[in-house]
């Protein structure tokens, strides 16, 4: 583009004029951008609706689970002795248990102490220059603020600390050591908490406090103390005198074979292998009594020991004990005992203390006294059902409240048919009676759930009324929410006959789909094209209530004119399934909301394409204006120059 004179000749601010002109011509672009933002806001709203619909759908699905209305509670008159749980199939009843004797696991113990030595802990003991453990260091003026490290843990010292305070700091540092002070002998001691050769004491770094010097530990700075020794149960069998008869070989516990290497294995490693195996036995070493014991993991189970080529079991004195019930040489069996009890007058014997009778899972924890009776009472968990219903109502209200806010006057979705239909149909389906059931609790209004206000579709829950209904007839409340679908087909159902005034009639069942419904009235056939599900019917239309099966004609039929219907139906469908079926077209992939969002995206794309095209034209328009104003300035400049030349010529005459 050529040079822009910018009104230098004409005196006009041509740049400002062009800017203002282009601002006016860009108004449609600004308007379109505002429309795009409004659509983006609407997309965000529908995204929230989708999220709330999914939450409601999940909550509705949870209502359909058998555990929601079938969970059982089991009370016990003595939970310290017997507890129980019950499956959803369990009948509500009482079980009285007495004469309870617990099952006991098979067990065997070495009894005689094994001559094993305890380990030695790494230890430092030095003479201290301080005798009073409560004397503050400032009184002696030989320790300053500073620090040192034990096993990489920093011990901070203050000049006014005492020995006892430093001991507390060391012991609480996590260094794995214990410090102590003998005030009578003036000796300071640091000892590893755990015995063993791998447990060391390392005093590292620099002692900037002077404390170690006063405790006589200056020579240990930078040193590692390794005076510990492993206890015999951690040493290889070949290193321990008490295990001198143990050989490399194997032994068997409950048909599970364990190999022994006397040069590599220790008592601790073998016990660990037993406890992590599938032998069903737990092994223990008691460091105080120096004994080894085996106990079956489950009450009532036996322990069978055999094939001891390693002489490990024999060395521990675990074979041929007094309670050995087997006479086979080289084999010992230590039997568990069964549980016995009487329940509701019937004697029972069980292999262990946990078992199931009549879908009741019983756990015996302690034997009963003579004549003592313990009652287990099975009942329906009403509170869990109420909790799930309350959660469902909450999710429903969150959705409806949001939609009502957005569809209200001046709301972003005011007049939106999709949103309004959602509000209307959801409330209608929830509050309508369950067709095809004779229960007195066949709709929410009868169990304490009703509209919160006359102007809102949100619901309120009266838990007291709901609880009373569930206590009265829990099966009916369960069916209200979870009853299975009863399907069928109706051919030529006689719906009713006109009387010249009535416009309302009812089908026997609720049609599965409007697509399958054909109604003939006064010789006129109505199908999916003329049967509507919302709004007010016009002439030639019939309004179908998809929750109740009610029909509303635009005009009353003449007296004697018959109404015949043919359709597929579902009856007795619970609210959970009814709601899921209704929400499925909205929440599924490529469903109503998905398609609605794609439609909005298409509108945004079209608008953006229009803006790009318009901006291109506006750029050309702006360039044209600049060129025109530039030409005007050039022409005026030429004219001015010519005028000045003529004036000069005249002046020279």
Question: Higher confidence at residue 28 or residue 332?
Answer: 332
Look at 126-130, 157-161, 445-449 and tell me which has the smallest mean pLDDT: 126-130
Question: In the predicted model, is pLDDT for residue 4 greater than 70?
Answer: no
pLDDT at 1: 44
| pLDDT tens track for 487-521 | 778 888 898 888 888 888 888 777 888 888 999 99
* CA nearest to 235, candidates 264, 195, 259, 258: 264
Domain 123-225 has CATH 3.40.1010: no
**Residue showing tokens 């995206």:** 601
Instruction: Between 448 and 6, name the one with better pLDDT.
Output: 448
Do the beta carbons of residue 401 and residue 423 sit within 8 Å? no
What is the rounded CA–CA span in Å between residue 237 and residue 463?
70
The percent of residues in the chain predicted with pLDDT above 90, rounded, is 50
Which tokens go with 265? 């294995």
pLDDT value at residue 9 = 52
Q: Is the pLDDT of residue 327 over 50?
A: yes
Helix boundaries (H) for 26-134: 27-63, 66-70
Where residue 399 falls among pLDDT bands split at 50, 70, 90? very high
Q: What count of other Cβ atoms lies within 10 Å of the Cβ of residue 60?
A: 24
pLDDT score for 436: 62
Best CA proximity match to 97, nearest among 406, 495, 515, 376? 376
What pLDDT, in 10s, does the model give residues 338-366? Answer: 999 999 999 999 999 999 999 999 999 99
Mean pLDDT in residue range 127-142: 81
Question: pLDDT at residue 7 above 90?
Answer: no
> Contact 282/275 with Cβ under 8 angstroms?
yes
Position 369 confidence tier, pLDDT thresholds 50, 70, 90:
very high
**Dist CA 5 CA 511 (whole Å):** 79
This model's pTM is above 0.85:
no
Tell me how far apart the alpha carbons of residues 612 and 434 are, in angstroms, rounded to a whole number.
56
d(CA 520, CA 540): 12
Residue 3: the pLDDT is 43
Can you give the pLDDT at residue 485?
60
- d(Cα 29, Cα 547) in Å, to the nearest integer? 47
Query: What's residue 177's pLDDT?
Result: 95
Is 605 within 8 Å of 549 (Cβ atoms)? no
Per residue in 254-298, pLDDT tens?
A: 999 999 999 999 999 999 999 999 999 999 999 999 999 999 999
Per-residue pLDDT, averaged over 299-321, amounts to 95
| pLDDT at 438 (0 to 100) | 67
Pick from 271, 258, 358, 292: nearest CA to 108: 292
| pLDDT classification of 643: cutoffs 50, 70, 90 | low
Query: Quick one: DSSP state of residue 194?
Result: S
φ/ψ (deg, to 5) at 193: -70, -25
Residue 180: φ, ψ to 5°: -150, 165
Question: What pLDDT band is residue 640 in, cutting at 50, 70 and 90?
Answer: low
Class of domain 486-571: mainly beta
Model confidence pLDDT, tens digit, residues 410-454? 888 888 888 888 888 888 888 888 766 667 888 889 999 998 887
Q: What is the pLDDT of residue 475?
A: 82
> In the predicted model, is pLDDT for residue 598 greater than 80?
yes
Give the Cβ contact number of residue 62 at 10 Å.
16
595 Cβ contact list (under 8 Å, min separation 6): none
Which residue in 361, 396, 366 sits closest to 376, CA to CA?
361
CA 171 to chain CA centroid, Å, is: 41
Q: Which residue has the tokens 């309120």?
A: 460
| Res. 227: pLDDT tops 60 | yes
Residue 120's nearest CA partner among 33, 19, 57, 198 is 198
pLDDT of residue 122: 93
Among 296-305, 369-378, 487-496, whose mean pLDDT is lowest? Answer: 487-496
Give CA–CA dist 388/417, Å, rounded: 31
> What pLDDT was estimated at residue 340?
96
State the pLDDT at residue 614: 86
- When mean pLDDT is compared across 358-367, 401-410, 471-480, the lowest value belongs to 471-480
Lowest mean pLDDT among 176-190, 332-346, 541-555: 541-555
Q: Say which range, 169-183, 269-283, 539-553, has the weakest mean pLDDT.
A: 539-553
Q: What pLDDT digit, counting tens, does each position of 66-118 carry? A: 778 888 999 999 999 999 999 888 889 999 999 999 999 999 999 889 999 99
Name the H helices within 286-381. Answer: 312-315
Contact criterion met (CB below 8 Å) for 434 and 442 = yes
| Phi, psi torsion values for 384, nearest 5 degrees | -65, -40
Tokens of 164: 């006892």
pLDDT of residue 484: 66
pLDDT value for 10: 54
Averaged pLDDT of the chain: 88
Q: CB within 8 A of 368, min separation 6: which ones?
A: 81, 97, 98, 99, 100, 341, 374
pLDDT of 2 > 50? The answer is no
Look at residue 166 in the predicted model and tell me its pLDDT: 94
The CA distance from 477 to 465, in Å, is 12
How much of the chain, in percent, has pLDDT values that exceed 70?
94
């Amino acid at each position: 583009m050529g040079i822009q004179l910018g009104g230098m000749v004409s005196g006009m601010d041509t740049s400002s004029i062009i800017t203002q002109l282009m601002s006016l011509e860009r108004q449609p672009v600004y308007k379109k951008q505002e429309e795009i933002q409004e659509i983006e806001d609407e997309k965000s709203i529908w995204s929230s609706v989708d999220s709330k619909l999914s939450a409601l759908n999940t909550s509705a699905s949870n209502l359909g689970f058998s555990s929601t209305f079938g969970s059982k509670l089991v009370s016990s008159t003595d939970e310290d002795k017997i507890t129980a749980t019950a499956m959803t199939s369990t009948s509500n009843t009482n079980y009285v248990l007495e004469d309870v004797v617990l099952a006991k696991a098979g067990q065997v113990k070495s009894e005689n102490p094994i001559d094993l030595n305890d380990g030695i802990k790494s230890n430092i003991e030095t003479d201290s220059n301080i005798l009073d453990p409560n004397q503050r260091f400032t009184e002696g003026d030989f320790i300053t603020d500073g620090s040192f490290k034990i096993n990489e843990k920093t011990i901070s010292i203050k000049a006014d600390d005492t020995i006892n305070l430093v001991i507390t700091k060391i012991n609480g540092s996590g260094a794995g050591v214990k410090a102590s002070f003998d005030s009578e002998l003036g000796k300071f001691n640091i000892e590893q908490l755990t015995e063993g050769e791998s447990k060391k004491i390392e005093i590292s770094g620099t002692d900037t406090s002077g404390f170690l010097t006063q405790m006589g530990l200056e020579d240990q700075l930078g040193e590692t103390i390794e005076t510990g020794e492993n206890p015999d149960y951690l040493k290889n069998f070949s290193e321990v005198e008490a295990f001198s008869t143990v050989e490399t070989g194997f032994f068997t516990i409950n048909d599970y074979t364990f190999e022994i290497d006397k040069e590599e294995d220790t008592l601790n490693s073998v016990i660990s292998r037993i406890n992590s195996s599938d032998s069903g036995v737990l092994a223990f070493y008691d460091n105080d009594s120096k004994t080894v014991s085996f106990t079956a993991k489950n009450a009532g189970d036996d322990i069978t020991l055999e094939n001891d080529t390693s002489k490990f079991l024999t060395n521990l004195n675990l074979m041929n004990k007094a309670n050995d019930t087997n006479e086979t040489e080289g084999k010992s069996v230590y039997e568990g005992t069964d549980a016995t009890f009487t329940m509701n007058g019937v004697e029972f014997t069980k292999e262990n203390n946990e078992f199931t009778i009549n879908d009741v899972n019983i756990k015996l924890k302690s034997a009963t006294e003579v004549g003592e009776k313990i009652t287990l009472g099975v009942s329906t968990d009403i509170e869990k059902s109420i909790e799930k219903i309350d959660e469902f109502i909450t999710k429903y209200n969150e959705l409806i409240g949001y939609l009502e806010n957005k569809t209200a006057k001046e709301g972003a979705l005011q007049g939106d048919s999709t949103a309004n239909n959602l509000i209307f149909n959801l409330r209608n389906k929830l509050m309508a009676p369950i067709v095809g059931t004779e229960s007195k609790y066949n709709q929410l209004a009868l169990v304490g759930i009703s509209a919160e206000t006359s102007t809102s579709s949100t619901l309120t829950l009266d838990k007291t009324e709901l609880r009373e209904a569930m206590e009265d007839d829990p099966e009916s409340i369960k069916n209200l929410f979870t009853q299975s679908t009863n399907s069928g087909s109706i051919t030529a159902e006689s719906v009713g006959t006109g009387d010249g005034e009535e416009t309302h009639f009812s089908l026997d069942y609720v049609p599965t789909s409007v697509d399958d419904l054909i109604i003939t009235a006064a010789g006129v056939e109505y199908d999916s094209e003329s049967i509507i599900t919302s709004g007010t019917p016009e002439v030639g239309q019939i309004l179908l209530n998809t929750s109740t099966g009610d029909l509303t004609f635009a005009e009353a039929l003449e007296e004697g004119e018959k109404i015949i219907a043919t359709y597929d139906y579902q009856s007795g469908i619970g609210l959970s399934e009814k709601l899921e079926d209704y929400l499925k077209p909205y929440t599924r992939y490529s469903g109503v909301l998905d398609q609605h969002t794609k439609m909005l995206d298409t509108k945004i794309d079209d608008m953006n394409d229009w803006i790009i095209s318009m901006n291109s034209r506006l750029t050309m328009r702006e360039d044209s204006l600049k060129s025109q104003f530039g030409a005007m300035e050039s022409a005026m400049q030429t004219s001015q120059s010519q005028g000045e030349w003529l004036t000069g010529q005249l002046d020279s005459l």
